[in-house]
Amino acid sequence: MRPLVLTAAFVLAASGSAWSQSIPGMPNMPGMTHPASPPHHPPAPHPPAHHHTPPAAAGQTQTGAQPQSAPQAETMPGMTMAETPAEETVGNEPAPAAPTDHAADRYFDPAIMAHARDELRHEHGGTLISKVMLNLGEYQFRNGEDGYRWEGEAWIGGDIDRFVLKSEGEGSRSSVDAAEVQALYSRAIGPYFNLQAGVRHDFDPGRQRTYAALGVEGVAPYWFDVNAALFVSDHGDVLGRLEGTYDLRLTQKLILQPRVEANLSANDAPEIGAGRGLSGLETGLRLRYEIRREFAPYVGVSFDRKFNAAADFARARGEDPSQTSFVVGIRAWF
Tell me the average pLDDT of the chain.
82
Residue type, 53: T
Q: How far apart are CA 314 and CA 158, in angstroms?
A: 43
With a CB cutoff of 8 Å and minimum separation 6, the contacts of 105 are 113
If DSSP codes are grouped into helix, strand and coil, which group holds residue 316?
helix
In 43-191, DSSP assigns E strands to: 129-141, 147-157, 161-172, 176-188
Q: Which residues pair with 245 in a beta bridge?
A: 225, 259
CB 182 within 8 A of CB 203: no
pTM listed for this prediction: 0.65
According to DSSP, the β-strands at 238-246 and 277-289 are unpaired
Burial of 231 (0-12, 13-18, 19+ CB in 10 A): buried
CB 179 within 8 A of CB 202: yes
Q: How far apart are CA 122 and CA 80, in angstroms?
A: 56
Q: What confidence tier does 114 reach under pLDDT thresholds 50, 70, 90?
A: very high
Mean per-residue pLDDT, 220-234: 96
pLDDT: which is higher, 109 or 204: 109
Q: How far apart are CA 308 and CA 268, in angstroms?
A: 10
Burial of 258 (0-12, 13-18, 19+ CB in 10 A): middle
With a CB cutoff of 8 Å and minimum separation 6, the contacts of 308 are 275, 276, 277, 278, 279
Alpha helices in the chain (DSSP H): 2-22, 110-123, 308-316
Residue 231's nearest CA partner among 212, 215, 248 is 212
pLDDT: which is higher, 83 or 104: 104
CB 327 within 8 A of CB 307: no
Mean per-residue pLDDT, 59-85: 55
Residue 257's nearest CA partner among 151, 178, 142, 184 is 151
Q: What pLDDT is recorded for position 54?
A: 47
Q: What pLDDT is recorded for position 69?
A: 54
Give residue 91's Cα distance to chain centre: 33
H helix or E strand, kind and range, residue 145: none
- Judged against a pLDDT cut of 50, whether residue 56 lies above it is answered with no
Q: What is the CA radius of gyration of the chain?
A: 48
Q: What pLDDT is recorded for position 243?
A: 97
